[in-house]
């Protein structure tokens, strides 16, 4: 209601609307429309032939399974880091907190270069892994490592603010009433942070699906084995197969859009949850 009232009071509606629409149209909508036209122009049978080809199916399988595993790893580690950063005070906490954002600040190409060097057979990590039969570079493990690294911050940053809000009084009351620490976690803390946790996981999954820079360095890019969807699109472009690239890009665009819808619904759920509780 307050916002409705301010519609008449505050200036700048026309100007900010004008700038926003001009930018959105020119930078986002027009290019998107160009690609959608390209896809619409190829007809459904052709589109379907491209997106359901064996090579595309193999690329989906590699991309989705790697992103799924990377998300599980980041879910567990993200929860641990968020918990430690909000619940304990210890020397080096600020540095740990700042370090969590490194994967966002570090360009993906640099991340890829570092990972492929770390896991090379003579690399700092590879020299210990390779003799034990664990090969990371140019295998799916490499893709998982790249996806995990580039999406580390998502779950931490989603869960951290909610965890800070969980009322410590509730917990002490529950403890005085005889609840074990595990019960406090599963009955009080977990339900509160669940929407944020899932939201963080969805973002992490989406980022992993689209990750390109870090993966191309370490994946080896063997068709059917370590070829991710983004790379297959890139290869189609190199072959001047624009329809093939457009159809696959459309698939990724739809997945991204669905992710966005899912995170918005989760955010709404989170708000409902907080309001119901208070």
Partner 1 sequence: MGHSAERSAGANVLIGLSFLFAAAALVVPLALIFSFALREGVGAYFDAILKPDTLHAVFLTVITAIIVVPINMVVGAALAWLVTRFRFRGQQLLVAVIELPAAVSPIVAGIVYLFLYGNQGLLGPAMQAIGLQIMFTPLAIVLVSLFVTAPYVARELVPLMRQQGTDDEEAALSLGANGWQMFWHVTLPNIRWGLVYGAVLTNARVMGEFGAVSVVSGSIRGQTNTLPLQINLLFNDFNIAGSFAAASTLALIAVITLVLKSLLEAWERR
Residue 125 and residue 119: Cα distance in Å, rounded? 5
Q: How far is the CB of 243 from partner 1 (least distance, A)?
A: 10
Nearer to partner 1, 105 or 177 (CB): 105
Specify the long-range contacts of residues 97-105, CB closer than 8 Å, at least 24 apart: 100/152, 100/153, 100/156, 100/157, 101/153, 101/157, 102/152, 103/149, 103/150, 103/151, 103/152, 103/153, 104/153
Measured from the CB atom, the residue of 174 and 252 that comes closer to partner 1 is 252
Q: Which is nearer to partner 1, 190 or 242 (CB)?
A: 242
Whole-angstrom Cα distance, residue 85 to residue 172? 20
Give the closest residue to 48 by CA, choosing from 227, 250, 226, 231.
250
**Closest distance to partner 1 from the beta carbon of 226 (Å):** 16
Q: In angstroms, what is the minimal distance from the CB of 80 to partner 1?
A: 6
Question: Which lies closer to partner 1 via its Cβ, residue 24 or residue 134?
Answer: 24
Residue 192, C-beta contacts closer than 8 angstroms, at least 6 positions apart: 162, 165, 166, 273, 277
- 126 contacts 120 by C-beta, under 8 angstroms: yes
Q: Quick one: 117 or 140, whose CB is closer to partner 1?
A: 117
With vertex at residue 110, the alpha carbon angle to CA 108 and CA 116, rounded to the nearest 5 degrees, is 100
Question: Least Å distance between CB 82 and partner 1?
Answer: 10
CB of 250 to partner 1, least distance (A): 9
Residues comprising the chain, all counted:
278
| Of 113 and 194, CB closest to partner 1 | 113
Q: CB of 102: closest distance to partner 1 in angstroms?
A: 5
């Amino acid at each position: 209601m307050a916002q409705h009232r301010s519609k008449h009071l505050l200036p700048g509606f026309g100007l900010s609307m004008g700038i926003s629409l001009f930018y959105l149209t020119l930078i986002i909508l027009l290019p998107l429309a160009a690609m959608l036209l390209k896809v619409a122009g190829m007809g459904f049978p052709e589109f379907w032939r491209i997106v359901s080809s064996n090579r595309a199916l193999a690329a989906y399988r590699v991309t989705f399974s790697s992103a799924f595993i990377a998300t599980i790893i980041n879910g567990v580690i993200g929860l641990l880091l968020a918990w430690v950063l909000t619940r304990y005070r210890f020397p080096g906490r600020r540095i740990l907190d700042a370090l969590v954002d490194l994967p966002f600040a570090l360009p993906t190409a640099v991340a890829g270069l570092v990972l492929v060097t770390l896991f090379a057979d003579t690399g700092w990590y590879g020299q210990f892994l390779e003799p034990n039969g664990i090969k990371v570079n140019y295998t799916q493990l490499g893709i998982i490592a790249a996806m995990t690294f580039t999406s580390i911050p998502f779950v931490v940053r989603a869960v951290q603010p909610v965890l800070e809000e969980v009322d410590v009084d509730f917990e002490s009351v529950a403890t005085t009433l005889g609840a074990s620490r595990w019960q406090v976690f599963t009955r009080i803390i977990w339900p509160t942070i669940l929407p944020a946790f899932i939201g963080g996981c969805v973002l992490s999954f989406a980022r992993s699906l689209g990750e390109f820079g870090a993966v191309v360095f370490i994946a080896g890019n063997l068709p059917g084995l370590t070829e991710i969807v983004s790379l297959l699109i890139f290869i189609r472009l190199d072959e001047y197969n624009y329809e093939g690239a457009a159809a696959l890009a459309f698939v990724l665009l739809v997945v991204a859009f669905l992710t966005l819808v899912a995170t918005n619904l989760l955010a709404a759920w989170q708000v409902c949850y907080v309001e119901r509780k208070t």
